[in-house]
Amino acid sequence: MQCNNFVRQLDLAPSPDSQDPYFTDVTAHLRVCEACRAKMSRKLDAERAIRMTMESMAPVPETLLTSVISATRAVKARRSRWRSWTAIAASFLLVIGLSASGYTYWKQSQTEAAVERLCVLSIRNHEVYHNPEFAVSDLVQISKWLSGRLGHFVKMPELLSIASATGARRCVLGEHAVAVVNFEVDNKRSSLFSFYPSQFGVEGVITPPKFEMGYTVAVWDENGVGYSLVSEAPVEKIKAMFASGHMRN
């Protein structure tokens, strides 16, 4: 395969020696491609740098407070004390501002990585498994069957309009057992995965349908339930099935 086929997996793979079966292809590619190994090395260096920066910025050191107090006590002139306090306040605001912006960037990158990983897991599962455990078309029956098998209530999404299904099954995504509803769009296979958003770090996420690794994918959090969709139908066809305007953008 060409290197550009591994761009997404290179961004998600935790290391070139990962034992995760979902990254088997890219780890095999890294063993024979020097350019991609260099890209992976730069990515890991950048992630380490971000973690080190966040770890150093997170707490305000106690020594900073002690030094501030000592410095203000040593100042005699009233005007100088005022200037000192102004400088101290500015320093605190700068530290807080940098910490907040750094945390926001870090949190956003973490969420994006979580969405990408969930898409990869969902696509892999969609590719490997074709036959449902419970082959019925009625969504109410499917909801009851999945709820009984998984031990918690599994409901159909409100944003996505599915007229009927071809069946349902249980599967494992990463470390978690989740529900899968199989359906078709113009005779194109589609898989809808249902789970708790906290299991995959996608709380509050809304990712409209997009083209990813040869499939149409979408991820969203709806009333405390997470969904990921993988379809072989075109992106525009899937967008038309969403009831909410912001999911069609």
Tokens of 206: 């809304």
**Residue 248: what pLDDT?**
59
Structure tokens at 66: 């002690």
Query: What length is written for the chain?
Result: 249
Mean pLDDT for the stretch of residues 101-122: 81
C-alpha to C-alpha distance for 141 and 123, rounded to whole angstroms: 25
Tracing tokens 């063993």 back to the chain, one arrives at 31
- pLDDT, tens digit, 9 for 90 and up, residues 129-162: 888 999 999 999 999 999 999 998 999 999 999 9
C-beta separation of 181 from 191 below 8 A = yes
% the chain with pLDDT above 90:
48
Q: How much of the chain exceeds pLDDT 70, in percent?
A: 70
Beta strands at 225-231 and 188-195: parallel, antiparallel or unpaired: antiparallel
Q: Which of 12-16, 160-164, 205-209, 230-234 has the weakest average pLDDT?
A: 12-16
Rounded to 5 degrees, φ, ψ at 135 are -90, 80
- Regarding pTM above 0.75, the answer is no
Q: What is the pLDDT of residue 195?
A: 96
Instruction: Give the C-alpha separation, 153 to 141, whole Å.
Output: 12
Do residues 176 and 199 lie in contact, with contact meaning Cβ atoms separated by under 8 Å?
yes
Q: What is the DSSP letter of 160?
A: B
Per residue in 179-231, pLDDT (tens digit) is 999 999 999 999 999 999 999 999 999 999 999 999 999 999 998 999 999 99
